[in-house]
Chains A and B, each alone.
Chain A
């Protein structure tokens, strides 16, 4: 009787253990296969399309050479490429004004791509041939903005309908600017700067006012916008020489934005100074003034100049 009961208990215990093992194994297998499959799928999906923040490599393209590059992925016989071309022309115009490099990648030969892009009226000179899938581009047209580290900063996939044009402009064009300039503009817009001693922030000044600014030890950078030969022959002491046609390239790097900038030249009517002032205001310099009468006015009030030793 006792043996019979013992064997029955053993059988029940074995059955329970077997059921438990099956359940645990089942759960483990489910977790192993289904959960992993799910995450692998997500990863695959994430990798299937280029996203903001991803890095992109294009053979023979060194991103470091330009702060920003606008990359167009286009394909012959793509109706949305054709219908979006007029908007892309506007975008290219804005990009070119801000020194953004342009690049087009096509799945055909470079020659075919060049003809096609020309037929669209897009002024893109740098054209590369490449498989769109290798760049994880889901379709054409696609426009990417890539920074100087090769990181994608903006992605716009598909044709551009008229109501989408403004959305793209609003989001993409501000990114054409160098980040530091954009931030500076955000924190210190030129039209909100109040007047400073020695005249309003962007009002032109005469030589006596410049003298006062220097004597008052205000933060000021004096910029001579004439050519190097003129500067070398004579200039206002401590003035920095950036020729007018170099202001666009050099100002943001060489002139501190928290200093007032006073520009002068030796030209009649201050043409070079006015042009330089306009460029500096565009670049977000909040305090820019032209010295009325230029170097001659400075000398007229008896102020010294620096001349090379004879």
Chain B
């Protein structure tokens, strides 16, 4: 009896809490994020990074709100501050199809990766495999 009461109390607290916040968050894979993108923009290679021959990978964590807009961009890794800014600027422009779970809108959190390449072919930004 006691476990049943405890369980019902637990679920009512959890579900009650969720209803009061009215927000469901979910972590999504980069693959899923990219396939749900309606509008996507490549970051620009900053002039200062080009000049200084800076290259490398940039990884950002983004939060997509229930309407499909990018609400937050957090840079996790980037080879130069100017590249951080370029990635932020581009990602805030992205638009996604709404993420839902069982018909309810979902706030999606996921990572996005870009490669800043500067070699004989020139400076350019590339998507990772397999995009």
Contact = CB atoms under 8 A, between A and B. Distances in A.
B111 A67 contact: no
Contacts, number: 71
B118 interface: no
Given A245-B111, A250-B57, A228 B76 contact: yes
B35 A250 contact: no
A246 B113 contact: yes
Interface in A72-131: 96-102, 125-126
A253 B128 contact: yes
A177 interface: yes
Interface in B99-116: 111, 113, 115
Interface size class of B (residues with CB under 8 A): 20 to 34
B113 A96 contact: no
B54 interface: no
A66 interface: yes
B12 interface: no
B77 interface: yes
B31 interface: yes
B40 interface: yes
Contacts of A249: 30-31, 111, 113, 128-129
Interface of A: 62, 64-68, 96-102, 125-126, 176-178, 181, 228, 245-246, 248-254
30 contacts: A62-B42, A64-B42, A65-B127, A67-B127, A67-B129, A67-B130, A68-B130, A96-B32, A96-B35, A97-B31, A99-B31, A99-B35, A99-B130, A101-B34, A101-B37, A125-B36, A176-B130, A178-B130, A228-B77, A246-B30, A246-B111, A246-B113, A248-B30, A249-B113, A249-B128, A250-B57, A251-B129, A253-B115, A253-B129, A254-B57
Interface of B: 29-32, 34-38, 40, 42, 57, 59, 76-77, 97, 111, 113, 115, 127-131
Given A65-B40, A96-B31, A245-B29, 11 more contacts: A65-B42, A96-B32, A96-B35, A98-B130, A100-B35, A125-B36, A125-B38, A181-B129, A228-B77, A249-B111, A250-B57
